[in-house]
Amino acid sequence: MLEARAHTMTSRIATLFAIALAAPLAAACTDTVEDEFASEDDVVDVDDSKSDIAGGTYTFFTIERDLRRCASPYCGGYWIDRVNASTTKCHDGRFQERCYVATADFDRLGLGEAALDPVLSGMDGSGLQKVLVRGTIARKTWSGVGVFGEFRPTEAWVGQGPNAPDGPFAMVEETGVRCITTPCPYFREKKLNSSATASLAEIGWEASGASEDAIAKAHGQIFTNNVVIAGDRYSVRGPGGRGNARTATQFYFRAVDAKTCFVGGCSGQICSENEGAISTCEFRPEYACYRDATCEPQADGECGWTETEELTSCLLNPPGTN
């Protein structure tokens, strides 16, 4: 019971929090300001050993298919472009505007077909930069042909809106800060391929052109797996003064495998990835609410009961408690 209810309550708190913070900020005054993330960092060559520092913000690239028509490996691979930088270090050590790699080892991502398909289809060469990858560019020798680049990804992030990203890329996480007035630094943004960070009081999701469902999911993702956004700085003003904000011309979710979820517990009250989960057998009225509920992976990739109006209403007023 505790596991099932904890996940439901966490989801409900995140949803209500997102709704609550959106209302006052929507009415706040906004100003365009200088974006401290817009300037390129002085250090342009980031050693691979730094890939895990600064909360996992280094070695991020956009990736697009190479649609040129010529024999492989000379054509038909991928174009790799380091985000928030004007140049990218290629396999031969030279800095170019972007790098051609003849192949990419996507098996390294360890993703199943369902999670990998959006990644592969998003690299369609349209120029919309729908996929971000984190990893390294290595050298690979083609016998009798020569040495070309190979990209070796460790993470993939998929864009959720129809627009091309415009503005600096940053990873966004929640800060845990709660305020009694606005603006409030609810979020922290960390510039990709940089150690720069800043607080955020608001994110302008509408600039992405994404659906309401995708934007609602983004609110939940920030509280669990973080979200990568690209956009421009603006500021909001309210009773508490002035706060940073950023539009989201595009936002990205990390590609992860969906878990298989099972209903368990003596009263069928547990939703988890463990088949045959057991519990003590005391009965509580709210357990009856889960009989018609759906146990499935949630926005954070973890198993949980999908929150609906019916389930919420039932948990607040379980059968037999009146």
The tokens describing 249, both together, are: 């011309």
pLDDT at 43 over 80: no
Phi/psi for 264 (5° steps) reads: -145, -170
Does residue 317 sit in helix, strand or coil?
coil
pLDDT at 47: 53
pLDDT at 45: 52
Better-predicted residue by pLDDT, 231 or 257:
231
As a whole number, the mean pLDDT across the chain is 86
Cβ 192 vs Cβ 51: under 8 Å = no
Cβ 18 vs Cβ 304: under 8 Å = no
Q: Which of 174, 132, 169, 137 is nearest to 152 (CA)?
A: 137
pLDDT tens, residue by residue, 87-143: 999 999 999 999 999 999 999 999 999 899 999 999 998 999 999 999 999 999 999
CA distance 236 to 25: 8
Q: Where are the domains of the chain?
A: 2-10+258-316, 33-256
Band of pLDDT at residue 170, cut at 50, 70 and 90:
very high
Position 148: which residue type?
F
Helix, strand, coil percentages for the chain (3-state, nearest 5): 20, 30, 45
Position 149: which residue type?
G
CA distance 112 to 297: 15
Alpha helices in 98-230 (DSSP H): 113-122, 212-222
Does residue 31 sit in helix, strand or coil?
strand
Minimum mean pLDDT among 24-38, 49-63, 308-322: which range? 24-38
The tokens describing 242, both together, are: 């002035």
The answer to whether the pTM exceeds 0.85 is no
Does residue 271 sit in helix, strand or coil?
strand
Q: Which of 256, 274, 278, 255 is nearest to 265 (CA)?
A: 278
CA distance 155 to 136: 11
pLDDT tens, residue by residue, 178-201: 899 999 999 999 999 999 999 999
Residue 69's contacts (CB-CB under 8 Å, 6 or more residues apart) are 75
Residue identified by tokens 């209810």 is 5
